[in-house]
Structure 1
Amino acid sequence: MSERLRPRDVALLAEESPSTPMHNATVEVFDPGDSGFDYAELVRLVQERISFVPRYRQRVQTVPGRLANPVWVDDDRFDLGYHVRRSALPRPGTLDQLRELVARIVSRPLDRSRPLWEIYFVEGLAGGRVALLSKSHQVLVDGMHTVDLGQVLLDTSPEPKELGLDEWRPHGDPSPLSLMAGAVRDSLTERGTVTATARSTTGSVLRGVAGAARSVGRVADALTNRAPLPGSPIVGPLSQQRRVIAVRTDLGDYRTVREAHGGTVNDVILATVTGALRAWLMTRGESMRGIRQVRAVVPISVIDDEMEATSLGSQIAPHFVDLPVWEPSPVVRLHQVSYSFLAHKETGRAVAASRLTSISGFAPATFHAIGSRVAARERRSYQLCVTNVPGPQAPLYAAGARMLETYPVPPLLEGHPLAIGVTSYDGHVYYGLTADRDLLPDADLLGPCLQEALDELVDSATGGRTRAPRGRRKRKTETTQ
């Protein structure tokens, strides 16, 4: 029997629009070396591993008359070549060119008539490197029934595991009559079906009314020549185009700051984000007026029997923190961020980073997806979403090719033109920022601002005495905008 979508999944689909595609993405850079890793090998790898995530061969099927929520059904015309695509940069491709390609691809919504995911094999990077860009709809990756496909493609050893091809055959495409019969049956046998359907339908109507009201308001403002009230520069209506910023930093720098000032690596990362926002806002001049803090949501892993567990062994809950962008001292900013998380740590519900990094497979992509789902439910309560997920500190491989870098590309929600994802991996901390291309045309400046904010914190911890020469550090902590 086909599985029915839950109300929160239906809500995610209903909230999607051309300006707010609801998919998470990840960019991974590989060194093929002598592995022979190419497009054909990627197709073979996906074909071999996709059986571990069967939902990646299913599509969303609506029920006639909306008698019940849509269902997941096997895609009887599933075409792996459609989902695993090939692209290239002009050789020798730079990381700047890569992130421009990524920005254009993530700006496009996924085709709802097919399984909601795509992977791009990008050739032509300098040094013979290649990149994988994967994007999966938030409704697809829930952490319970489905994890991100990228999690099952990577191995801890350059010798890939040979699993062989599976014998998958799609079930027949359900007829409209069978879909209606299933909806009636579920309504009679499952108590929650009627309630879930009513909740989804009501929510869809309310979201439509709210969207119409926002449109009418914008038209009225234009006709009366009335500008919107001034507010935060990271709140506003979205366009259909995105900008992607990627920054690589050294994990050792965060540990140096932690050892000198206390707290956790997570605290230092958020203090770095705070310092970067402060510097960026100051470049905008008058935009800094009246802004003392930025309200951020940071989805975190918790232990809570009352919450819905993921298949990864933990729950994800929103944590709100006010980032003190008005504070000039980097150390004070760090202590204020640390204090915000202190009460959470003392409850005993916090999940240690070591527990997350011990999860089999490369789980950060899955946790970023779940964090984005949590943030979507709370979008009226914050200005900025920061998902920070610790990853393994040993190299991973795809079909023998070593993964060198990994950058999360979080989605933007309506009214939120900036989102930040952070992943630590193999001795580095990788920032992936998604910004609205039209509303934040100067978002590229956030890349250098992040590096400068981290440098400022390291200087406060070392007194500037033990730092490597600036030229050497640039090679070690490369920034791409």
Structure 2
Amino acid sequence: MPATAHPLSVVDRIVFDMVRQVGDTALHLGLAMRFRGRAPALTEITEHLLPRVANTPELRHRLGGPTRRPHWEPDPDFDLTRHVHEHSLTEPSDDPGAILTALHGVPLDRERPLWGVWLIRGVHGYTLCYKAHHAFQDGLTAMRTCETLFGTPRPTPASTAPPALSLRDKATLLRDVVTQDLLPSLRPNTRWSGLDEPLSGHRVALTTTVDLPRLHAIGRATGTTVNHICLAALTATLRAWHPHDWTRPDNGLRTSMAINVRDPHEPLPLLGNRVGVASVFLPAGEPAPLRQLARVKGDAAYRRLTATGCRHRFLYRHIPYRIGLLATTRSTNPHVAPLTLADVRPRGHLTFAGTTALSAHILPVAIPNQPLFAAWTTHNGQLHTTFLIDTALPGHERLPTLWCDALDILERAAPPPTTSTGG
């Protein structure tokens, strides 16, 4: 391997293995940013990106090496213009769902660094979409890249390698992986009607937007975060979508929530996939909105998600490829976890040519065998949620309405605010 090359992580290799099942474009992810005003020329976008890409070496790395031992290596012929494109919709639209759906199938050049920026002209403005391969970047890394390209530059904090783990520490982590991650996943999920139909392989993106002050008010009243509220809204959405599935209060679905497992001392922190998953139970059998919220608050508590991330960071650093592949195959089995969730937010405004984006919408990956990926982000005082769903699921077009209805019901049920929320 050349001295300037970086080996693929186990997760990177697993993602490329998934490509054989679902096709390359299914495993792309990114962010669509909508703007008012005149659409820029591609040369203007390139000029905007040029100094930012020059300071981001990860974006100049491509997949290289032999098939059995691939690695990331600098692209000796890197040309930024090959990464700036325009995509035309069949009919011009400002609907972020239509834009995300169209871009999901746009390929990336496997001979070049696996990312690009697309311009889409709308009726009353335009959209800029950053898109990358899921092996090249995970969702959080893609968001941090969007901050680099379209946000206020932030200094990279100095970090050092973590201290070596003792044998006792490693044994404890392995024990916790078995007792807190593996064994709970063996418990059967409630039967969900969403899995009754064979998947079509055709996904559409549906989006919805709500004002953040509404969620912050619910959070202050209940002592919960925006993420907890989104999980409770999704729980109520599933309950309303298939009401006959949840016959008992303890019914629900165990889902996979994406978490960051990247080591902070990595030399190229925006390169490669370092995502883990935490199992989060959505209690769709519980009829009371506030009890739904209380239960997801416990299951998605910050301390629990952080501890899961520590275990998975250790696991991905040491796990052999074939065992990692088996674990990933099980975690994406729809009868184990029928849907995946992600909460990924920028740390400031995203802008282009001095104009702040009206909204930002996540483009999730299409997980093999899973019919639904729900992801949310915040921008410009609003929460933007994307549902990437297989069209084989009857009534899938109702999801945004059901989500908004769930938030309305939760808002009415919340008591007067007494405490502040961490968001």
8 Å Cα contact 1:299/1:375 also seen in 2: no
1:448, distance to aligned residue in structure 2 (A)? 0.6
Equivalent-residue separation in structure 2 for 1:410 and 1:376 (angstroms): 18
1:403, distance to aligned residue in structure 2 (A)? 0.9
1:145, distance to aligned residue in structure 2 (A)? 9.4
Equivalent-residue separation in structure 2 for 1:241 and 1:85 (angstroms): 24
Do residues 246 (structure 1) and 207 (structure 2) align? yes
RMSD over aligned Cα, in angstroms?
3.5
Which runs of 5 or more structure 2 residues have no equivalent in the other structure? 154-189, 310-326, 417-423
Normalising by structure 2, we get a TM-score of 0.71
Q: 1:274 aligns with which of 235, 251, 263?
A: 235
1:46, distance to aligned residue in structure 2 (A)? 2.2
8 Å Cα contact 2:246/2:252 also seen in 1: no
Structure 2 equivalent of residue 107 of structure 1: 105
SS of residue paired to 1:99: helix
Equivalent-residue separation in structure 1 for 2:226 and 2:278 (angstroms): 16
The 1:250/1:115 distance shift into structure 2, 3 A limit, reads same
The 1:62/1:146 distance shift into structure 2, 3 A limit, reads farther
Q: 2:9 aligns with which of 6, 10, 17?
A: 6
8 Å Cα contact 2:376/2:385 also seen in 1: yes
The alignment-based identity, stated in percent, is: 25
8 Å Cα contact 2:147/2:346 also seen in 1: no
SS of residue paired to 2:242: helix
Deviation readout 1:303-325 (Å, 9 max, x if unpaired): xxxx7337679x96533221111
Deviation readout 1:417-473 (Å, 9 max, x if unpaired): 100111122321110111123x2253221011111100111111269xxxxxxxxxx
SS of residue paired to 2:30: strand
The 1:115/1:300 distance shift into structure 2, 3 A limit, reads closer
8 Å Cα contact 1:144/1:309 also seen in 2: no
1:31, distance to aligned residue in structure 2 (A)? 2.5
Paired residues for 1:145-164 under 5 Å: 149-156=145-152
Do residues 345 (structure 1) and 300 (structure 2) align? no
1:271, distance to aligned residue in structure 2 (A)? 0.6
Q: After TM superposition, where is structure 1 displaced by more than 6 Å over at least 4 residues in a row?
A: 143-147, 374-377
Q: 1:322 aligns with which of 275, 278, 281?
A: 281
SS of residue paired to 1:111: coil
Aligned residues: 349
8 Å Cα contact 1:57/1:74 also seen in 2: yes
Structure 2 equivalent of residue 189 of structure 1: none
Equivalent-residue separation in structure 1 for 2:19 and 2:287 (angstroms): 39
8 Å Cα contact 2:143/2:344 also seen in 1: no
Do residues 23 (structure 1) and 28 (structure 2) align? yes
Structure 1 equivalent of residue 373 of structure 2: 419
8 Å Cα contact 1:297/1:375 also seen in 2: no
Deviation readout 1:362-416 (Å, 9 max, x if unpaired): xxxxxxxxxxxx9888324422211113434x53312212111011121121111
Radius of gyration: which is bigger?
1
Paired residues for 1:253-332 under 5 Å: 253-282=214-243, 292-300=251-259, 308-309=263-264, 317-332=276-291
Normalising by structure 1, we get a TM-score of 0.63
Equivalent-residue separation in structure 1 for 2:275 and 2:288 (angstroms): 31
Equivalent-residue separation in structure 2 for 1:144 and 1:94 (angstroms): 25
1:253, distance to aligned residue in structure 2 (A)? 1.2
Q: 2:411 aligns with which of 458, 469, 475?
A: 458
Deviation readout 1:303-362 (Å, 9 max, x if unpaired): xxxx7337679x9653322111122211111111112234x53898699xxxxxxxxxxx
Equivalent-residue separation in structure 1 for 2:117 and 2:371 (angstroms): 24
Equivalent-residue separation in structure 2 for 1:390 and 1:458 (angstroms): 23
The 1:239/1:336 distance shift into structure 2, 3 A limit, reads same
1:150, distance to aligned residue in structure 2 (A)? 1.9
Structure 2 equivalent of residue 212 of structure 1: none
* Letter of the structure 2 residue corresponding to residue 383 of structure 1: P
* Letter of the structure 2 residue corresponding to residue 256 of structure 1: A
